[in-house]
Amino acid sequence: MPEPSLEPLLSVRDLRVSFRSAQGRVRAVDGVSFELSAGEILGVVGESGSGKSVTLMSLLGLIDNPNVEIEGSVRFRGRELIGLSAGELQSVRGREIAYVFQDPMTALTPVWRVGWQIVEQLRAHTDLSQAAARARAIELLAAVGMPSPAQQFERYPHELSGGMRQRAVIAMALSCNPAVLIADEPTTALDVTVQAQILGLIHRLREQFGSAVLLVTHDMGVVAETADRVMVMYAGRVVEQGSAAELFDTPWHPYTWGLLGSIPPLDGPRPRRLPAIAGLPPALSALPPGCAFAPRCAAAHAACTQQRPLLQAGAPGPLAPRAHAAACLLPADERAPARERCTSSLDA
């Protein structure tokens, strides 16, 4: 694994995205900040509706909704992206920052051949000739592990299986050697055996193309196996971030504990009951005033319902973007015993 450069490639500061709707303002993303360095894989986890996709799509202004409001700052190689017009963003989209969307079944235009769609992107950003673009596309298809790439080039999306389609989408995303690859749940729709293939592929390609990867998922297992660093989101906010090891070995936030605990283990003794998180995620239009997780938190105390916790590193001082940090009011020393209490009480 190449040593991640410390110079951030992409830096997001206090990103806020809200939608105006009949029920009032829905804050889908509420003050998200993170950094991504070249060659790094940053995993973003969170339950459905926690704002993962909205965060990523707002980076490149891909939310096509007249009722959206985006605030904050997104700097790519030092250039501010928020506020750019669609025309100005065109050169960044697909060329510098590429996307792989969640559902490979619907991510490709059904009426065009797979190869055509790759060539289209190549020719939008380079001055390759048709023939050269075609050769390059076939090369890319081979690189993502498509058997007989020249044949697959001529296929329509529906003629490919889910895994092959996802490969084609990845090949398309990689076609311009982007600096950042944003993969929004790239394996959720796939079977485990195929998921394993795709995750392996992403790893391999990071090495080969050197792209930084922003990997969104709601599967803790996928993050654990793929990401260098992890960011956990809950109700549009980041509740915890840190390196993969920090996060999985010593999670600080009670929500992270719950996430990790509610997955049944694949080996070892089977618990009789799972340590589930009680209750349901809150509606974004009516967030509780304090910590959004407080109503479900077994370790919550009075302050949690009033004061909104900020992301805080373990060590005092200004928050380094790469430090292990959590947005929780629990004092650092109470965390381990509280975690013990929560999980065991549930298992009773």
Partner 1 sequence: MTLAILRRLGQMLFVMAGISILTFAIFFATPGADPSARIAGRNASPETLAAVRHDFGFDQPMAVQYGLLMKRLFITGELTSFVNRGEQVLPEIAAAMPVTLSLVGGAALLWLLGSVLMGLVAAAHRGRWPDKLLMVLGLVGISMPVYWLGSVVNLVTQSRWHDTWLFSWVPPLGYVPFSQSPLGWLLCLVFPCLTLSVLYMGLYGRVLRAALIEAGQEDYIRTARAKGLSPRRVLLAHALRTSLISVVTLFGLDFGALVGGGALLTEVVFGLPGIGKLTYDSLQTLDLPVIMATVMYASFFVVAANALVDVAYAFIDPRVRDA
Partner 2 sequence: MPDTSPAAAVPLLEALHLRKQFSVGSALSRAGRQTVQAVDDVSFQVWPGETLGLVGESGCGKSTLARCLVRLHGITAGALRFEGRDITHLGSAALRPLRPRLQMVFQDPSTSLNPRRRVGDLIAEPLRVHPGPQGSRSAGEVQARVRELAELVGLRPEQLQRFPHEFSGGQRQRIGIARALALNPRLVVADEPVSALDVSVQAQVINLLADLQERLGLTYLFIAHDLSVVRQVSSRTAVMYLGSIVEIGPTDALYAQPAHPYTAALISSVPVPRVSGAARRPRILLQGDPPSPLNPPPGCRFHPRCPAATERCRTERPMLQGLSGGRQVACHFPLN
Partner 3 sequence: MQADVPAGGMTPGLWRVALARLLADRSALVAGALLLLVLLACAAAPLYAERMAHADPFRSNISGQVMLDGQLRDVIEASTEGLGLGQTPIGPTWQPSAYLLGADNQGRDVAARLLYGGRASLLIACGATLLSLSLGALLGIVAGYFGGVVDWLLSRVLDVLWAFPVYLLAISLSIVTIGSGLHLGPLRIEADSLWLPALIIGLVYLPYVARPVRAQALALRRSDFVHAAIGLGVPTHRILRVDILPNVATTLIVFVPLMMALNMLTESALSFLSIGVQAPNASWGTIIQDGLSLLYTRPMVALAPGVAIVITVVALNLLGDALRDALDPRATFRVKGGGA
Ligand X SMILES: Nc1ncnc2c1ncn2[C@@H]1O[C@H](COP(=O)(O)OP(=O)(O)OP(=O)(O)O)[C@@H](O)[C@H]1O
Question: Which residues of the shown chain bind ligand X in the complex (CB under 6 A)?
Answer: 19, 21, 26, 28, 46, 48-54, 65, 218, 284
Q: Is 22 in the site for partner 3 (CB under 8 A)?
A: yes
| Cβ contact 175:118 at 8 Å | yes
Distance of alpha carbon 194 from alpha carbon 144, whole angstroms: 13
Q: Is 111 in the site for partner 1 (CB under 8 A)?
A: yes
Distance of alpha carbon 93 from alpha carbon 202, whole angstroms: 20
The DSSP-derived string for 21-56 is: ETTEEEEEEEEEEEEEETT-EEEEE--TTSSHHHHH
Contacts to partner 2 from residues 243-262, by CB under 8 A: 244-245, 248-249, 258-262
Q: Is 106 in the site for partner 1 (CB under 8 A)?
A: yes
Our separate counts of H helices and E strands in the chain read 11, 12
Name which of Mg ion, partner 2, partner 3, none residue 53 binds, using a CB cut-off of 5 to 8 Å depending on partner kind.
Mg ion
Segment contacting partner 3 by CB under 8 A, of 2-10, 36-44, 220-228, 277-285 = 277-285
Q: Which is nearer to partner 1, 181 or 297 (CB)?
A: 181
Q: Quick one: which of 11, 37, 50, 53 contacts Mg ion (CB under 5 A)?
A: 53
Between β-strands 41-45 and 212-217, what pairing exists: parallel, antiparallel or unpaired?
parallel
Q: Let me know if 155 is exposed, middle or buried by CB neighbors in 10 A (0-12, 13-18, 19+).
A: middle
309, 297, 313, 334: which is closest to 243 by C-alpha?
Answer: 313
Binding site for partner 2 (CB under 8 A): 47-48, 147, 161-164, 191-197, 199-200, 218-226, 244-245, 248-249, 258-267, 270-278, 280-281
Binding site for partner 1 (CB under 8 A): 57, 60, 62, 64, 66, 86-87, 89-95, 98-99, 101-103, 106-112, 120-121, 124-125, 156, 158-159, 169, 172
